[in-house]
Amino acid sequence: MKVQAAISPLESVMFDTLRRFEPELVEIRRSIHRHPELGFEESRTSDLVAEKLTSWGYEVHRGIARTGLVGVLKVGSSHKTLGLRADMDALPIHEATAKPWASQIPNRMHACGHDGHTTMLLGAARYLAETRHFNGTLNLIFQPAEEALGGAQAMVDAGLFRRFPCDAIFGMHNMPGLPVGQFYFRSGAFMASADSLDVTIHGKGGHGALPHTTVDPIVVAASITLALQTIVSRNVDTQHAAVITVGSIQAGDVANVVPATALMKLSVRALDRQVRKLLLSRIEDVVRLQAQSFGATATIEARHGTPVLMNDETQTRFAHGVAASLFGDSHAHYGAHPLMGSEDFAYMLDANPNGCYFFIGNGDGEGSCMIHNPGYDFNDGCLTPGAAMWAGLAEGYLKA
Ligand SMILES: [Zn+2]
Ligand SMILES: [Zn+2]
């Protein structure tokens, strides 16, 4: 396949060099794509990354949150430090693209483009090691388990920023539906917080013919489901975005038995830390008091909440400036809409707020397919502009 980038043909050394790497990058991307690995199991991918980085002269630190690794390259005498992050994990989806490089493993697929993210950062890694046109310490962070498994937090907990101090950090994700190789930025809240709650209603089971002798948890769950809808519509400021989704209600097996318990699974999202707090506290009140009004009780188990992803304004403007100077104003968009999806990089920005997460368009033409879909594929046309963006950020932040 001929790889076509949407960028204007800049005759710069950077683009000439990166175009030379392109065939190898396409090969690496497709090799990772053929061998997708789930979160914290990315041993082949991690080996491949470590081998490439080592061969290009990086000091490679492995085993940070199991399969995570950091490649360090120090050039010159500056004390400035920079962290660039890519994610490596795949999803438990059965690929349906029928492409020659489709997943060779059933029910495993790079359906979020992390194969491409890893490869774009490797492209920049090679370029920066060859050219060494910067002054400072470059930390290339390859994180495991981005897909709701807490890989970013695990790396932070394993001492990521203590061992590899970063004055600023950046993350990049592809986005289908946007033109290939164009860049999208937003300062402040860009991706939502996401909390998963398991609510168990404890009622009293019994014969379906004698409901007055029971406390029916199904009726309680139904009432709670409706009452929860009033939180976003009646409690949250109308100028703020919030989502409460009841994604699952499980209770009972047969028609003539009232079960003793019901389990509800909730997804809760917000773009503001205060709104997130409000949602969680109102949910607790509504669930507890609704249950109580029926003579039931309820327990809430909150699991692994991703924080709101907050981009620093200075670093967002800086990254936007890098994209604009490399690709032109028409390819660098400031003020992108925030999304109610969540992103693990929010944990890294929580620990190290001086940074920015941004999107690279994955293509908006025919065949453009959303991430987490069996028909999705990372667009190899992003490899060169993505690697150039990383390289430009490094050269700009760690100015020689
Ligand atoms: Zn994903
Ligand atoms: Zn992703």
Average pLDDT by consecutive 10-residue portion of the chain (400 residues)? 42 84 97 98 98 98 98 98 98 97 98 98 98 97 94 98 98 97 97 97 98 98 98 97 98 98 98 97 98 98 90 98 95 96 96 98 88 97 97 95
Task: Mark the residues whose beta carbon lies below 5 A from ion ligand 1.
Answer: 112
DSSP letter at 294 equals: T
Q: Please return the burial class of 72, using the count of CB atoms within 10 Å of its CB with bins 0-12, 13-18 and 19+.
A: middle
Ligand 1 centroid from CA 112, angstroms: 5
Both structure tokens of 210: 């004698």
Ligand 1 centroid from CA 206, angstroms: 43
Q: Name the 3-class secondary structure at 109.
A: strand
Shortest CA distance to 399 belongs to which of 334, 345, 318? 318
Q: Which ligand is nearest to the CA of 113?
A: 2
Ligand 1 centroid from CA 146, angstroms: 7
Q: Which residue has the tokens 């188990």?
A: 301
Both structure tokens of 82: 């920079």
Ligand 1 centroid from CA 85, angstroms: 15
Both structure tokens of 341: 């999806």
Q: How far is CA 315 from the centre of its chain?
A: 19
Both structure tokens of 71: 């490649």
DSSP letter at 188 equals: E
Task: Mark the residues whose beta carbon lies below 5 A from ion ligand 2.
Answer: 112
In contact, 340 and 271? CB cutoff 8 Å? yes
Ligand 2 centroid from CA 17, angstroms: 28
Ligand 2 centroid from CA 147, angstroms: 7
Strands (E), 12-77: 59-64, 68-75
DSSP letter at 91 equals: B
Ligand 1 centroid from CA 372, angstroms: 6
Q: Which ligand is nearest to the CA of 171?
A: 2
Q: Which ligand is nearest to the CA of 148?
A: 1
In contact, 392 and 326? CB cutoff 8 Å? yes
Q: Name the 3-class secondary structure at 53.
A: helix
Q: How far is CA 356 from the centre of its chain?
A: 13
Ligand 1 centroid from CA 376, angstroms: 11
Q: Which ligand is nearest to the CA of 88?
A: 2
Q: What is the pLDDT of residue 129?
A: 98
The pTM of the full predicted model, rounded to 2 decimals, is 0.91
Strands (E), the chain: 59-64, 68-75, 81-87, 136-143, 168-175, 183-185, 188-191, 193-202, 206-207, 242-250, 257-258, 261-270, 297-306, 309-311, 332-334, 355-361
Ligand 2 centroid from CA 360, angstroms: 12
Ligand 1 centroid from CA 218, angstroms: 33
Q: What is the pLDDT of residue 4?
A: 40
